[in-house]
Amino acid sequence: MHDSIESSTTLARCHSRNARHLAGIALAMLLPLACASAVAWDGLVEKQVFEMDAYTTVSGETIAPLRVGWEAYGTLNEEKDNVILITHFFSGTSHAAGRYAEDDEAPGYWDAIIGPGKPLDTDEYYVIASDTLVNLNAHAPNVTTTGPATTNPDTGEPWGTDFPLVTIRDFVEVQKALLESQGIERLHAVMGASMGALQAYEWASAYPEQVERLIPVIGGGVADPWLLATLSAWAAPIRLDANWNGGDYYDGEPPLDGLRESLKLVTLNANHWQWANETFDRSWADKDADPTRELEARYAIEQTLDGIAASRAELADANHLLYLVKANQAFLTGHGESLEEGLARIEAPTLILYSESDLVFAPEGVRQTAELIEAGGTEVETVTLEGKRGHLDGVVAIDQAGERIRDFLAE
């Protein structure tokens, strides 16, 4: 089916669910429905879409229809008990591993640990990654997940701010429906970074009997006041852009200037001064425009951050960013009365990975989260990630924890 498919050296598997296979119906029809000779995942993926006719949010509002993107790596076994769910960060998508095409510049964000023989071994596990609702990258070619930029069939217009506010718990509920559509009732593990960690905590707290292992990365059990304020700062530039127009801009110019500045702040906050000071110097963006002499002239680091932000803004939607800010701010594990109560419901052995130089999720809050889960009698291990990227080390330097993750998954 593909030149690079390797024959599996491990157990035979049924129902090969290589995402690419499922996507191409013609190919899928060629696959025997019963147990086939197994194939290792070849590293190529295709975005899948799960659709619900209607979804009612936790707060009681209806989104109809609802679409959410997902990808999978590896094969679901017959017992359907080899599932690892991957939940993504604020600016991410469900593209956690692999490439859409062999010449893709970069693979999914956690490709270092997901694949044949890797810590999340696709020869053993069925690794499924799901978009969140209101995915930031509404205009990315592989994202069709529902949010404010989606056309509301009732009006024929984009939802805009009529779209219901959603929470991390809503993200979990949609993922649960996605898994159920594949007959999956329990998770060998749930693992996610940053906003993905929030979804992972929520999964383990809301459905303790269905989550066997919990691996939150660079995230705590609650949006603490520091995070509330940080997220507020991320939202501000969009609101300052006159084109935002209270969220009603789908007929005109989108608030791209504001969106770019928002994403610049996200990039900066998710990094660390160690990264900035080792990666850049005081060079000018343009050797003929001295930033000490011209108000509009910039330094190279400003140009680079502006460039990153501009690329990201092209794929993103401003209202989606504001909705994600709201969802993150609203987060309290269990969405109940207290953090203690929400975390005490977690029964899954937990491996928390975090960075002491994280500027988004205060390390103190992560350690407190670990203590509160342990207080309920659950086993928790915390592992610090080393690096110079601060928060981002949980994404770009995850490989350092690979063997610990592999062992944890086998325990």
Show the beta-strand stretches assigned E in 288-373.
350-354
Minimum Å gap between C-beta 252 and its own copies is 15
Nearest-5° angle of CA 366, CA 109, CA 334?
35
Q: Which helix (H) or strand (E) holds 229?
A: helix 225-240
Catalytic residue among 95, 188, 320, 391: 391
Is the CB of 129 or the CB of 265 nearer to its own copies? Answer: 265
Indicate if 358 belongs to the active site. yes
Minimum Å gap between C-beta 408 and its own copies is 28
Q: Given the DSSP bridges, would you call strands 83-87 and 189-193 parallel, antiparallel or unpaired? A: parallel
Minimum Å gap between C-beta 41 and its own copies is 39
CA atoms within 13 A on the CB side of 379: 7
Minimum Å gap between C-beta 277 and its own copies is 5
Tokens standing for 251?
A: 């007929």
Is the CB of 233 or the CB of 375 nearer to its own copies? Answer: 233
Is the CB of 14 or the CB of 310 nearer to its own copies? Answer: 310
CA distance 129 to 113: 13
CA distance 221 to 200: 10
Minimum Å gap between C-beta 362 and its own copies is 4
Q: Which residues bind its own copies (CB under 8 A)?
A: 59, 161, 165, 167, 222-226, 228-230, 232-233, 236-237, 240-242, 247, 257-258, 261, 264-265, 268, 273-274, 276-277, 279-282, 291-295, 298-299, 301-302, 305, 322, 326, 329-330, 332, 359, 362, 364-365
Is the CB of 92 or the CB of 237 nearer to its own copies? Answer: 237
CA distance 130 to 84: 11
Catalytic residue among 42, 121, 358, 393: 358
Tokens standing for 233?
A: 């700062």
CA distance 49 to 216: 25
CA distance 108 to 99: 7
Catalytic residue among 94, 194, 355, 357: 194
Is the CB of 180 or the CB of 253 nearer to its own copies? Answer: 253
Amino acid at 304: T
CA distance 190 to 87: 8
238 sits in the region (left: phi over 0; alpha: psi -120 to 50; else beta) called alpha
Cite the active site residues.
Answer: 194, 358, 391
